[in-house]
Amino acid sequence: MIEILNKILNDEKLGQLIPAQAFIIPHSFSVMETDKLNKLIEDFQPQEGWLCLTNIVVRIPHDGALPLTGIVLSGELVAGLRSLHIRQDESGWLCRIIERKNTVGDQLMYEQSFLPIPGRGSRRLKYEVYWRETADPSGRAVYRPYISRFAGYETTATKTMEV
């Protein structure tokens, strides 16, 4: 299967699949109170990311303390190999910590960067999109997207894939 994917990627000039040294572990949970969410963000110690608040969009890194003066609507933060994704829902916030482990797993990882950031030159948001093998309705094994992880910013677009 990897040989077929490599042929398609080569034909499209998108690179090659290489053996993955990563495995993704997601952990989802809810937060009901604003002060607990703000503490979670502070304790996470983000190196890069963004937060959309009711009154401002905050880009990280940020000079000084994070201005959490409004209510967080959503955000994606990264600290090393861990990401924190936040989405407001009807009962508070749905949070997901996604941790990349540098061990071989049964997933494919495709690194993508896109969405140039206005006013930030060529900086782009970088994501790792993980695919895993599942069965289609006929029982055939296929790879489908499983989860994606915000992985920070980069200055040039890359397209690499790992297995």
Q: How far apart are CA 54 and CA 127, in angstroms?
A: 25
CA 127-54-60 angle, 5° bins: 40
Q: How far apart are CA 154 and CA 114, in angstroms?
A: 9
Q: Mind listing the pLDDT tens digit for each residue in 107-157?
A: 666 666 666 656 556 677 888 887 778 888 898 888 788 788 898 887 654
pLDDT-derived band at 32, boundaries 50, 70, 90: very high
Is 130 in contact with 96 (CB distance < 8 Å)? no
pLDDT for the residue 83: 95
Tokens standing for residue 1:
């299967």
- Higher confidence at residue 38 or residue 114? 38
Q: Count of CB atoms within 10 A of residue 91's CB? A: 9
Strands 17-18 and 159-162: parallel
Q: How far apart are CA 21 and CA 81, in angstroms?
A: 13
Residue 34, class by beta-carbon neighbours within 10 Å (0-12 exposed, 13-18 middle, 19+ buried)? middle
Q: Mind listing the pLDDT tens digit for each residue in 64-101?
A: 567 778 899 999 999 998 999 999 999 899 999 998 87
Question: Residues in the chain, how many?
Answer: 163
Mean pLDDT comparison of 18-27, 48-57, 141-150, highest-scoring range: 48-57
